[in-house]
Amino acid sequence: MAARSFVTIGLVGPDRSGAIAAVTQQLFRLGANIESLEEQVARGKFRMTLLASWAGAKLEERRIRAELEALAQHLRMKLTLRLADASRARRRLAVLVSKETHAAESILRAWKSRRLGAEPVLLAGNHPQLRSLARRFQLPFALIDYRDRQKAEASLQSHLEKAEVDLVVLARFMKILSPDFVWHWKNRILNIHPSLLPAFPGASAYRQAYDKGVKIVGVTAHFVTPDLDQGPILCQDALRLRPNEPLPSIIARGQKLEAACLLRALKLCLSRQLDIHWGRVHGV
């Protein structure tokens, strides 16, 4: 089979008639084949993710980027464009953190021991405490000031693009990403949530489960979507509670489960081409 080069294109901006046609016609003029396209319009906001391919191993990247950026500016939309580098043997990861280290450390230890078929290239967080973790694993650390979410996400997007990141992993990153940001990274953001989703979404999931008196608690690794904790599920793990087990013990045991489940989900993403549609991950 002849080699093909792939580009993922994201567009977000005010809804306007003819936006999809303008993009697809421009891609046709550039010689592209459209592999997949998904769009959404909500509250006057247009969002689209498109996968395009070109015959051959090399692209006229500058021309493609320049013409699509000019079109996006005409449409008054924000463009993201990511090229799949066929020569790159290992995918590049960004790990996002807040204050807890267990999930991030699990990934970074697997990487250092050569048990992970990917290359972490950036650790980013909204608190300075985990700068020491980045230093320990000799990774750059980006401190993201989240007092203004729009500015924070613009800064984060810039760091991800400069690092040429392929996949984003939320390793107990305790900030909600905006729908616009998520659409630019559709099916490229993994999260670990401390409950058996769809039960107990949102904050303080262990506390929610404890207050309800459940006998089994669990964790869920899933893709991030604009709807909080409702993305396609990759894997889940559970543990049975001991009689009268206190909440701190539940959390401590749950965190070990979180780390293992997130790492397993990441390895699934790296080891195969996943089929994601109708809100489900198929083939896992």
Which are the catalytic amino acids?
Answer: 229
pTM over 0.85: yes
Which pLDDT score, from 0 to 100, does residue 44 have? 86
Which range, of 29-38, 49-58, 222-231, averages the lowest pLDDT? 49-58
Q: Which fold has domain 4-84?
A: Alpha-Beta Plaits (3.30.70)
Mean pLDDT across 35-49: 89
End-to-end Cα distance, the chain: 26
> Other C-beta atoms within 10 Å of 266: how many?
27
Q: How far apart are CA 67 and CA 194, in angstroms?
A: 44
Lowest mean pLDDT among 18-22, 191-195, 249-253: 18-22
Whether the per-residue pLDDT at 259 is higher than 90: the answer is: yes
Q: Which CATH class is domain 91-282?
A: alpha beta
Contact assessment for residue 8 and residue 32, using Cβ atoms and an 8 Å cutoff: no
Out of 18-22, 83-87, 106-110, 280-284, least confident range: 83-87
Q: Where are the domains of the chain?
A: 4-84, 91-282
For residue 147, which of 136, 139, 155 has the smallest C-alpha distance? 155
Over residues 175-225, the pLDDT tens digits come to: 999 999 998 898 899 999 999 999 999 999 999 999 999 999 999 999 999
Q: What are phi and psi of 223, to 5 degrees?
A: -75, 145
Q: At 85, is the pLDDT very low, low, confident or very high (cuts 50, 70, 90)?
A: low
Per-residue pLDDT tens over the stretch 67-78: 999 999 999 999
